[in-house]
């Protein structure tokens, strides 16, 4: 089993996270979140032999659970 929690992939949420990343870098915070291409991440997980078992989204977050087949 493999679980992945990430921000939803839409313009509003992406813009908010990118703005947060820019502010943290500007003020040289040690914590640096990353924005990934989540569709690509899901494809890579599938390529590694996992299949999507469960997916649930809220306004901001997406939760995906994969199971190796």
- Supply the pTM of this predicted model: 0.77
Residue 35 has what pLDDT? 83
Task: Give residue-wise pLDDT tens across range 15-59.
Answer: 998 899 999 999 999 887 888 888 999 999 999 999 999 999 999
At 14, the pLDDT band (50, 70, 90 cuts) reads confident
Q: Which residues pair with 68 in a beta bridge?
A: 50
Which range of residues forms the domain containing residue 33? 2-68
The answer to whether the beta carbons of residues 3 and 63 sit under 8 Å apart is yes
**CA distances (Å), 52 to each of 12, 34, 44, 49, 59, in order?**
25, 23, 12, 10, 20
Residue 45 has what pLDDT? 96
Split into its structural domains, the chain has a count of 1
């Amino acid at each position: 089993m493999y679980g992945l929690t990430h921000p939803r992939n839409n313009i509003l949420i992406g813009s908010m996270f990118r703005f947060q990343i820019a502010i943290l870098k500007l003020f040289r915070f040690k914590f640096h979140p990353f924005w990934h291409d989540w569709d690509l991440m899901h494809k890579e997980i599938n390529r590694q032999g996992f299949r999507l078992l469960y997916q649930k989204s809220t306004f901001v977050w997406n939760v995906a659970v994969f199971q190796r087949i």
